[in-house]
Amino acid sequence: MRSDQMKKGLERAPHRSLFKAMAYTDEDIKKPIIGIANSFNEVIPGHIHLREIADKVKAGVRIAGGTPMEFNTIGVCDGIAMGHKGMKYSLPSRELIADSVEIMATAYPFDGLVCICDCDKIVPGMMMAMLRLNIPSIIVSGGPMMAGKLGDKAIDLIAVFEGVGARSSGKITDAQLKEIEDKACPGCGSCAGMFTANSMNCLSEALGLSLPGNGTIPAIADERKKLAEEAGIKVMNLVKKDIKPKDIATQKAFENAITVEMALGSSTNTVLHLPAIADEAGIKLEMGLFNEISGRTPNLCRISPAGKDHMEDLNAAGGVPAVMAELNKKKLLHTGIITVTGSAVKENIKGAENLNTEVIRPADDPYSQDGGLSILFGNLARDGSVVKKSAVDESMLVHEGPARVFDSEEDAMKAIMKGRIKKGDVIVVRYEGPKGGPGMREMLGPTAAIAGEELDKDVALITDGRFSGGTRGAAVGHVSPEAQEGGIIAIVNEGDKIRIDIPAKSLELMVPEEEIKKRMDKWQQPDYKIKEGYLYRYAKQVTSASTGAIFKKD
């Protein structure tokens, strides 16, 4: 056993003595030791209940003959970090989470690993660690939050963000905003729409790194606790059979995940995280692959913010297995590959049924014949940019308008809130990329304010930063190269015409090439906005959004 390195033999008597100080018995120590990486904390609603989930996982490990040992990682709630300096730390936290799990599972050579998490950067960070370590592992989420209720209307956190814009433009009262605030988030779990956390938890199923149901079973459901206990049992089976993450998360598995991503209309952040996770497996996901798979994958779901349904509705309709079963009717999946269940994909989705064709459209009657995300290229994004096409009004799929240029999210937000943005404008927010931010902040505040002021069908926003999975409208993020690295976005001037053509996968600055060259010759790289602490080290090490914002290899 791998754990023998710290527990077996004469020279390991001191090590066993230290375990006994924590009330582990000789029998406990002899068994396979399973590390339980738990991101529980009391500052994230998606994590507040993870002690209960961990207790069930540990029960499953013990049932199957193992000894669980729990440790913790950090976690940032993007919603609470939104709109202030804290958001600069959200994406960078992903690398720290992966590193911390690597450290713990190497300092303590566990025989297997269960990663318990629920929110935006924690889920991909955990999966990155699983592949880096490559010991038998499984991921378990805390599950999605239930939608809130405002009268007979289902609402979620995005309704509050958009309510701020509606209040600032006088469309609702203080009392109405307070009611939305009080009712939007009714309990524990990751926010109720197809935002980044739930997108990544669904894709963990598609990758084969979690059990069916992991992405959609509500946080408050008894089935969530049953799934957690089953995961504890399953990890012991993975240890016994020596099935490792790299045996599961192959090129074909990532192609399955991208296919499911397109069918679900997942968060744009998945285009940031999947390449980073794949990199840990030694697999390179080119941006063009996302468009290639999107071109053959029907969009089957319109979960909030793209539509009125929420994660509980997707779960009731059959969840990710039902979506995969629909896709398999078109032979769009690799079904012969292994998963953490110990069985192949085809066994996992056998018998899965679409129980609500209004929530999961049949493969023969999709919302669109191509996927819910698009990668746009052009002189403004030579290395790519991403938009959630399924959340864009049809009238904005092609848009040309004057640039309104801002060098920070704060400046853009002030302009929106003061009513300085007009119909037809293309808001450009730059120097918010991985290096320029630093940390590539989400722009939910500006996009929600635009939607709240009912301008989302008239105004576009492009940025080298990124968007929340809850963003709707013509919001194009991850523009690469970013401004800090001398991308063309750095030399856009106020009033320049910008053309967004989502069907053509194009993002263009409508300025002659000679003028672009002249401006670039004059451009000088600005100094980093922050020159101390972790963010300074992060800015110097991080790569482009087009490569997943991973760290440099050297």
Phi, psi of 428 (to 5 degrees): -115, 115
> Mapping DSSP to helix (H, G, I), strand (E, B) and coil, where does residue 160 land?
helix
Q: Angle at Cα 161 formed by Cα 464 and Cα 478, nearest 5°?
A: 15
Q: Cα–Cα distance between 161 and 173 in angstroms, integer?
A: 14
Residue 224, both tokens:
């969530």
Q: Are 485 and 386 in contact (CB under 8 A)?
A: no
> Mapping DSSP to helix (H, G, I), strand (E, B) and coil, where does residue 474 land?
coil
Residue 221, both tokens:
């459901």
Is residue 96 classed exposed, middle or buried when 0-12, 13-18 and 19+ CB atoms within 10 A define those classes?
A: middle
SS percent in the chain: helix, strand, coil, step 5: 45, 15, 40
Residue 457, both tokens:
């069908």
- Among 428, 455, 429, 427, CA closest to 166: 455
Where helices occur in 173-221 by DSSP H, the ranges are 174-183, 196-207
User: How far apart, in Å, are the Cα atoms of 454 and each of 158, 165, 167, 383, 472?
Assistant: 14, 9, 12, 31, 12
Widest Cα–Cα separation across the chain: 76
Q: What is the DSSP letter of 33?
A: E
User: How far apart, in Å, are the Cα atoms of 130 and each of 97, 136, 318, 347, 406?
Assistant: 11, 8, 27, 24, 39
By annotation, the residues acting in catalysis are: 468
Q: Are 124 and 270 in contact (CB under 8 A)?
A: no
- Give the pairing type, strands 506-509 and 497-501: antiparallel
Is residue 27 classed exposed, middle or buried when 0-12, 13-18 and 19+ CB atoms within 10 A define those classes?
A: exposed
- The DSSP result for 416-464, as a single string, is HHTT---TT-EEEE-S-STTTTTS--B-HHHHHHHHHTT-TTT-EEEES
- Among 256, 505, 509, CA closest to 386: 505
